[in-house]
Amino acid sequence: MTSALKLQFMTSPGCIRRAPAVPGAGKGHGSLRQQAAWISRSKRGLIRAVVNSDQNKSAATETATKSVDSSNNVNGSSLSVASSSSKERVVDVRAVITVRKKMKEKLTEKIEDQWEFFINGIGQGISIQLISEEIDPVTNSGKSVESAVRGWMPKPSSHPNIVEYGADFTVPSDFGKPGAVLITNLHGKEFYLAEIVVHGFDEGPMFFPANTWIHSRNDNPESRIIFRNRAYLPSQTPAGIKDLRREDLLSIRGNGKGERKPHDRIYDYALYNDLGNPDKDDDLARPVLGTDEKPYPRRCRTGRPPAKIDPLCESRIEKPHPVYVPRDETFEEIKQNTFSAGRLKALLHNLIPSIAASLSSSDIPFTCFSDIDNLYNSGFVLKEDDQTVVQNPFIGPLMRRVLSVSERLLKYDTPAIIKMDRFAWLRDNEFARQTLAGVNPVNIEILKEFPIVSKLDPDVYGPPESAITKELIEEELHGMTVEQAMEEKRLFILDYHDMLLPFVDKINALPDRKSYASRTVFFYNKAKMLRPIVIELSLPPTPSSPQNKHVYTHGHDATTHWIWKLAKAHVCSNDCGIHQLVNHWLRTHASMEAYIIAAHRHLSSMHPIFMLLHPHMRYTLEINALARQSLINGGGIIEASFFPGKYAMEVSSAAYKSMWRFDKEALPADLIRRGLAVEDPSMPCGVKLMIEDYPYASDGLLIWSAIKEWVESYVEHFYSEPNSVESDVELQAWWSDVKNKGHYNKRNEPWWPKLNTKEDLSGIVTIMIWTASGQHAAINFGQYPFGGYVPNRPTLMRKLIPQEHEPGYEKFISNPQRTFLSSLPTQLQATKVMAVQDTLSTHSADEEYLGQVNRLHRHWTNDPVVLEIFNKFSAKLEEIENTINKRNKDASLKARCGAGIPPYELLIPTSGPGVTGRGIPNSISI
């Protein structure tokens, strides 16, 4: 190293921690570090080591113990060691810093990379500081040594997108073990730090997993804190890094003020006040969710300014501009590429608004079933008179090239539900089977009371008694009475009446939307088959029809046969909306967001529960932000494609208010609540199913049991001492945040679990991991396999069922097929839904499945006991996969096996990329 270069390094403001000019002058978070650095430099000089100029130094793991004079250079290094004596034994160590580059780079980015590579190599790009777990008695903070990342590893990484750098330190022999690393990025832009490995200590290589973006000091002068891969409860934190643990959490929480910047990693809460866009159009105004009147979980705060027209609403950022999420929550490149490809596919399939306007002539009903089949066989046809679309100035060059290739576009893959039997959807047994083994198997309940009575206000919604009579049911019970069937637990119900009736009038006032509030009763016969026996479709009462309820049975003549088909289609429409807005969005996406924000705010990255939950939080905030931007927003795809229209999120809020309970999100508790299981201590999960052939429940209980066993063993390992859960300040603060901030509107509910014992903790964490993994997989990845065929699961209906006294009845009699098809979504609406379902059902190539660890995160813990427990968990999941595969070949299980019946694979743990209808990712990542 030349004298000039050495001087430049020594005086570089980035190679030491920045300190205020006087003690206590630091502003904001990080002042503890600043003041400690100031005191350290003032009292005893800077402890620092610069990388050796000798590039032929021996291997990084070589350890040498030497006696040196602290005033001299060692092997060309500039070394200043604080010591009261003139001699001190020191140890040479090396840190290997792994930086990940983009896979696809523009020419300018490649040039920038080469420059950064050079700057890092000469020690001017990254400053690194090791912090000991032991206290320096002078500063009363962790001992520290500082260096610069300098030089390049002699052997380049085998991974083409990985670059490794080295930094050498000479540390006192009494330094102790490093527990944290401080990284300062001196470049003008961020970089992605994968991990840091420190070699040279007696314990062997020490891993500091990062997997994080390191901001430029131009954006934020504070260094980033990276902790070692060792879990500590707060009370067990080594003294040298205790302040850093607290400081890191403070920086993550922020101060609740200001608009968040892209480089920020601040987690805070906000109301759902960003769905509407009143500044753009009055019709796009939407109510705020999260109020006492319209309760909802909290989302991640962005701090955007209020809308001009309505100050209670946040201003919108429309795509393609990104919505803020904490920096490390954004999609990694592989995921982004997969999602972008899906969005491009959705763009083509949706025909985007400007194309849709030009293709308005194509927004017509399906006129025959072959029109639907052509979506898979031939594709959606761009008509000759619509070729002017290609010249539309608003269409980009890529789209123009696609449209110019051929008249045919928008060809879809054949959905699994019709791949083996294209007529299965018509049959009653398939309609019933999907309530147990379809994409929404979580709403069917046992019929607990008869007569069926509404809980809605009779002064507003009419007589509470259902129009489903005992006589109607008993006609289908083969000699049994209703009382006998209920006693034998053979009657079940899909009941959306109370949830939807308050919205029906408003929905039906929307153009081309017609809906009912439905109830469907099923009978579980002696052949162990479930079949629908009666459907009730209700409208709000009118003066002329105070009991505005219509009851349908399948009948035996042609007319009642077709009306029964229409009734089932309306039930499926209700089911689709509740599935998407309540079971999918609310109960998994929205609820998990609150848990994730609380975890980052109050659990240090070295907390064992944070380390346990971390894989189950990946990508969720980003996918939720994208959904609020273009999926569930005012005028978004859900409103355009599902029956509640502009009232979609209000329906979701009403469901949250009336039925969401954290304790009932546990799978066994949910099954018991719905009467689909009873408590039975002799069974593995403590419950016995009322319908043994219930694929979602039987497979789900296997997954639930494996998660529960893994979590209990993990928690036992860290919380073996009495009162260790109660005394964990971070854990208690996290759980308080979940209840009192994340789910603010439910904060006073008595059903929240206590957090006093390790059993309490295991139960809470098991629910969260199940929600993020098995529960989400079961209700998400079957969306295209089941919903990709529109007649099987129409997301909206455009006509009510014709009645005899109405003008449309004669048209129905003369052409029932046309009436049925014209009641379904239009061709354009259908292609929108199919595109979205296809995207939501797609696994990314970098998906992390339950029981697996991403190879880039392989050093997530150094605890051999934890690794052994995790390996057992992984092995258990492999056994479960084999068990499910065997069940799918068991001819006695008619809900998952039989002629033309697709196997139930949604809870098979592993999958390849794409739309596979199987696989349980660790987290809600799509």
d(CA 836, CA 851): 28
Q: Are 827 and 856 in contact (CB under 8 A)?
A: no
User: Beta strands 549-552 and 677-679: pairing type?
Assistant: unpaired
DSSP sequence for 651-689 = HHHHHHHHH--GGGGSHHHHHHHTTSEEE-TTSTTSEEE
Q: At what angle do helices 816-823 and 369-377 cross, to 10 degrees?
A: 50
Q: ω into residue 13 within 30 of 0, thus cis?
A: no
d(CA 730, CA 718): 14
Query: Quick one: CA dihedral 329, 330, 334, 337, positive or negative?
Result: positive
Q: What angle do CA 852, 857, 862 make, to 5 degrees?
A: 95
d(CA 468, CA 522): 12
Query: Quick one: CA dihedral 486, 492, 496, 497, positive or negative?
Result: negative
Q: Which residues are catalytic?
A: 584, 589, 776, 780, 926
- Is residue 561 classed as helix, strand or coil in its secondary structure? helix
3-state secondary structure 399-446: HHHHHHHCCEECCCCCCHHHHCCCCHHHCHHHHHHHHHHCCCCCCCEE
Count CB atoms within 10 A of the CB of residue 292. Answer: 8
d(CA 879, CA 275): 43
DSSP sequence for 162-207 = EEEEEEEEEEETT---EEEEEEEE-SSS-EEEEEEEEE-STT--EE
Q: What angle do CA 781, 785, 790 make, to 5 degrees?
A: 125
- Is residue 590 classed as helix, strand or coil in its secondary structure? helix
Q: 787-824 b/e with 16+ CB inside 10 Å = b?
A: bbbbbbbbbbbbbbbbeeeeeeeeebeeebeebbbbbb
List, in sequence order, every beta strand (DSSP E) within 799-891.
842-843
Beta bridge partners of 191: 214
Burial (CB count within 10 angstroms: exposed 0-12, middle 13-18, buried 19+), residue 316: buried
- Is residue 77 classed as helix, strand or coil in its secondary structure? strand
List, in sequence order, every beta strand (DSSP E) within 473-585.
491-495, 517-524, 530-538, 549-552
**Which amino acid, 455?**
K
d(CA 817, CA 531): 23
d(CA 431, CA 557): 20
